[in-house]
């Protein structure tokens, strides 16, 4: 069977009874309307999904040459009001989050009223600590309830949050604080992972040495570590909260539709990570509508997105989308293999989860442990399974479909990016059969095109090319914080007049899209983006390293692994101890997600005569595709290749 003829439609009949979008005809009709009359379509959705303090003057205004995009300008609203206040009349006692601790015995059920109360009190805490509309707040926290509370409290007072994933290093925190000029940091003493407390505050302390401008650090006591706080600058969350009345009300700040809601840093192919900026109205609308329609979530259903809130997936599908829709979600502090490899399935059974959303890397890691862990649990509540973060290999897809979904649940393979804010290419469960490895069709309002090397749309089915988007959609990023020119250049200059995704894709004869992967120097490790430039800069900081080139290679669990080719300085000697040091060096600079899988010492790198490293060749060598090295005639010194091949390291 070829890729594109293997189709699965067992779920369709059931979904077509109740789905919001029933069948291909309805999808196509709405899709056509959404791209032919985006203003009409999105105005209607903005009325339906959001509550406005003041309606907009103009739905859409944009200029892709200048990278200027504006949705609902003149409109006034507040994201925290939309996620909380407006639900109080109807669903105050509904569960917003089932929170499941790393320890399965530790759980909490947080209602919309509870969340509202906590957000109001913490909004008051932020104000008491001098945070004002437009100020930037860095958040570095484990997956505890105080994390979404922090995001929403910032949104409530109009402060711009920037969450730094808990797996990032002190330097990563410091760089982000400096880049956005944050005055306040919210963190915790630590968190629990796999039964052990993990310190977080240490990293913040180290970052603080480089960030004298931070005025206040607010610390949640999560692990009773008893660490001392520095008087004056550092305060305990609970002590600050106690200074506010239990029924504190902080009026939601009226925000312009286009005011920034948050900054989230993401890796690109060049330079340091970019602070991608999302806005109050467009982002919220788009995450709400995609949460509803892509997962076909009904009001009485339970949804679990396993992502960490430190990534865009958590922002959009744990916090803003589900809360804006008034849905019940699950938030999980721990890891998939503690206490055992059945943890995910135990949680699905415990909360009778209906729709489940995870990443291919997690599926592969769990599949490797065998079916017995899945079979221990009653998963009959599930009706839909989602995936995100990287292309899913058909083998993992089939395992997920058969063992978790029992061949009844569609796999909703959602392709999108930090910069797109929400789902872009995705199946809708009531519309059409799904194919393993394909993300199906564009969501409403998304106008994709695949371009060939000359910049023309490809002419034939299955022809691979560069994926671009021709029209704006509400959740697209608006700028790179503090560097609009970088935003314009990265996303709008490569193909004039279009948004450049950085991914290659193809469309089959049935109109299904297939993502091939990044075409730039971005490595996707377990669904997380790392730029080769960042990794190389971290390596050359080591006193023994003269030069380094890093590429991604196929890895059985992580999707892509990190392969580093390193040239040492003349006075340094290659050794296993030095390899370990280099691995540690990069982990310290960026964080544990940037763990080098392979370090190969070499005397030379393949370079063009103008001195450019030929990564194309290094990628083939790292993947073991030695007969596909292609044309090597432009290499300045061809003998380098033989040595590289000879000393190539295989992953154990
Ligand atoms: C949401 C998120 C974005 C990059 C993207 C692409 C890859 C994400 C995918 C996928 C194939 C999918 N990607 N989802 N590739 N199929 N369903 O992951 O955002 O961290 O910014 O990464 O991830 O290469 O360009 P982000």
Query: pLDDT tens digits, residue range 435-481?
Result: 999 999 999 999 999 999 899 999 999 999 999 999 999 999 999 99
Q: Which residue has the tokens 């949640």?
A: 220
Assess: ipTM above 0.90. yes
**Residue 545 assigned to a binding site:** yes
Number of domains in the chain: 1
Testing ligand 1's pocket by substitution, the residue of 389, 420, 519 carrying the most ligand atoms inside 8 A of its CB is 389
- Decide if 477 is inside a domain: no
Report CA(503)–ligand 1 centroid distance (Å): 9
Q: What gap in Å lies between CA 512 and CA 503, rounded to an integer?
A: 16
CB neighbour burial string for 58-76, b if at least 16 within 10 angstroms, e if fewer = ebbeeebeebebbbbeebb
Residue of minimum CA distance from atom 10 in ligand 1: 390
pLDDT per residue over 12-29, tens digit each?
A: 999 999 999 999 999 999
**Is residue 479 within a helix (H) or strand (E), and if so which, with residue range?**
strand 479-480
Q: Is residue 591 part of a domain?
A: yes
Beta pairing partners, 331: 99
> What CATH number is attached to the domain comprising 545?
3.30.300.30
Confirm whether 578 is domain-assigned.
Answer: yes
Cβ atoms of residues 122 and 153 within 8 Å: yes
Is 529 assigned to a binding site?
yes
How far is 112 from 299, CA to CA, in rounded Å?
14
Q: Which residues contact 328 (CB under 8 A, 6 or more apart)?
A: 94, 95, 96, 97, 98, 301, 302, 303, 322
**pLDDT category of residue 191 using cuts at 50, 70 and 90:** very high
Q: Please list the helix, strand and coil fractions of the chain in percent, rounded to the nearest 5, in that order.
A: 35, 25, 40
pLDDT in tens, 498-519: 999 999 999 999 999 999 988 8
Q: What is the pLDDT of residue 1?
A: 42
In a domain, 573, yes or no: yes
Decide if 247 contacts 218 (C-beta within 8 A): no
Nearest-atom number in ligand 1 for the CA of 391 is 11
pLDDT given at position 519: 87
438 is in an annotated binding site: no
Share of residues in the chain with pLDDT > 90 (%): 89
Let me know: does 359 contact 387? Beta carbons within 8 Å.
yes
pTM of the model as a whole: 0.93
- Residue 201 placed within a domain: no
Shortest-distance atom of ligand 1 to CA 517? 24
Residue 2 confidence class, pLDDT cut points 50, 70, 90: very low
Residue 191 near residue 142, CB atoms below 8 Å: yes
Chain length of the chain: 652
What is the rounded average pLDDT of the residues 31-40?
98
Residues 6+ apart with CB under 8 A from 314: 305, 307, 308
The rounded mean pLDDT for the chain is 95
On whether residue 640 sits in a domain, the answer given is: yes
CA atoms of 207 and 172, how far apart (whole Å)? 8
On whether 136 is known to bind a ligand per the annotation, the reply is: no
User: Which of the four pLDDT bands, split at 50, 70 and 90, describes residue 533?
Assistant: confident
Structural domain includes residue 285 = no
Q: How confident is the model at residue 638 (pLDDT cuts 50, 70, 90)?
A: confident
Q: For residue 68, what pLDDT band results from cuts at 50, 70 and 90?
A: very high
Assigned domain for 248 exists: no
Report the alpha-carbon distance of residue 117 to residue 637 in Å, rounded. 67
User: Residue 562 has which token pair?
Assistant: 């990190």
What's the confidence (pLDDT) of residue 612? 74
**Given pLDDT bands bounded at 50, 70 and 90, which one contains residue 590?**
very high
Residue 518 CA: nearest ligand 1 atom is 24
- Cα separation, 45 vs 62, in Å, equals 19
Note the pLDDT of residue 437: 95
Q: Which of the listed residues 416, 435, 504, 593 should we mutate to test ligand 1's pocket, taking the one with most ligand atoms within 8 A of CB?
A: 416
Q: How far is CA 437 from CA 6, 23, 624, in A?
A: 10, 21, 23
């Amino acid at each position: 069977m070829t890729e594109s003829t293997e189709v699965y439609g067992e779920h369709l009949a059931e979904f077509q009874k109740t789905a919001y979008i029933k069948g291909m005809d309805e999808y196509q009709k709405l899709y056509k309307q959404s791209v032919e009359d985006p203003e009409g379509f999105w105005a209607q959705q903005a009325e339906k999904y959001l509550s406005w303090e003041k309606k907009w003057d103009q739905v859409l205004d944009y200029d892709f040459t200048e990278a200027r995009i504006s949705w609902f300008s003149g409109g006034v609203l507040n994201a925290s009001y939309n996620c909380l206040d407006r639900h109080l009349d109807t669903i105050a006692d509904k569960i917003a989050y089932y929170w499941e601790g790393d320890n399965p015995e530790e759980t909490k059920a947080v209602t919309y009223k509870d969340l509202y109360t906590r957000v109001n009190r913490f909004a008051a805490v932020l104000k008491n600590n001098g945070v004002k509309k437009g100020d930037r707040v860095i958040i570095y926290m484990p997956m505890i309830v105080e994390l979404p509370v922090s995001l929403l409290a910032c949104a409530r007072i109009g402060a711009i949050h920037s969450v730094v994933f808990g797996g990032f290093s002190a330097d990563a925190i410091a760089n982000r604080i400096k880049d956005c000029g944050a005055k306040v940091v919210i963190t915790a003493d630590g968190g629990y992972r796999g039964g052990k407390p993990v310190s977080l505050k240490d990293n913040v302390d180290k970052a603080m040495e480089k960030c004298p401008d931070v005025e206040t650090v607010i610390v949640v006591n999560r692990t009773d570590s008893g660490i001392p706080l520095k008087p004056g600058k550092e305060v305990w969350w609970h002590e600050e909260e106690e200074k506010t009345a239990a029924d504190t009300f902080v009026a939601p700040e009226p925000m312009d539709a286009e005011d920034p809601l948050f900054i989230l840093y993401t890796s690109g192919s060049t330079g340091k990570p970019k602070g991608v900026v999302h806005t109050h109205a467009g982002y919220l609308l788009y995450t709400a509508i995609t949460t509803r329609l892509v997962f076909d979530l009904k009001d009485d259903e339970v949804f679990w997105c396993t992502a960490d809130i430190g990534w865009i997936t958590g922002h959009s599908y744990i916090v803003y989308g589900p809360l804006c829709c008034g849905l019940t979600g699950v938030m999980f502090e721990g890891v998939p293999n503690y206490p055992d490899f059945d943890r995910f399935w135990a949680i699905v059974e415990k909360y009778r989860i209906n729709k489940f959303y995870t990443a291919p890397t997690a599926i592969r890691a769990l599949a490797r442990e065998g079916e017995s862990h899945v079979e221990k649990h009653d998963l009959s509540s599930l009706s839909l399974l989602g995936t995100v973060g990287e292309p899913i290999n058909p083998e993992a897809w089939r395992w997920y479909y058969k063992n978790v979904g029992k061949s009844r649940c569609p796999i909703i393979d959602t392709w999108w990016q930090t910069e797109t804010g929400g789902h872009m290419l995705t199946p809708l469960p009531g519309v059409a059969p799904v194919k393993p490895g394909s993300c199906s069709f564009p969501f409403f309002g998304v106008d994709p095109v695949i371009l060939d090397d000359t910049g023309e749309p490809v002419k034939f089915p299955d022809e691979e090319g560069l994926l671009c988007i021709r029209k704006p959609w509400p959740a697209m990023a608006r700028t790179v914080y503090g560097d609009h020119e970088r935003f314009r250049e990265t996303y709008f200059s490569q193909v004039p007049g279009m948004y450049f995704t950085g991914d290659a894709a193809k469309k089959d004869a049935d109109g299904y899209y297939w993502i091939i992967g990044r075409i730039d120097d971005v490595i996707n490790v377990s669904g997380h983006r790392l730029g080769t430039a960042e990794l190389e800069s971290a390596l050359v900081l080591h006193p023994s390293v003269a030069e380094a080139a890093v590429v991604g290679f196929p890895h059985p669990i992580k999707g892509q692994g990190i392969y580093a080719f390193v040239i040492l300085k003349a006075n340094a000697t290659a050794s296993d101890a030095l390899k370990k040091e280099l691995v540690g060096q990069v982990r310290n600079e960026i964080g544990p997600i940037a763990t080098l899988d392979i370090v190969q010492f070499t005397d030379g790198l393949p370079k063009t005569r103008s001195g450019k490293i030929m990564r194309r060749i290094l990628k083939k060598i790292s993947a073991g595709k030695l007969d596909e090295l292609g044309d090597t005639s432009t290499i300045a010194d061809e003998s380098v290749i033989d040595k590289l091949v000879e000393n190539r390291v295989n992953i154990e």
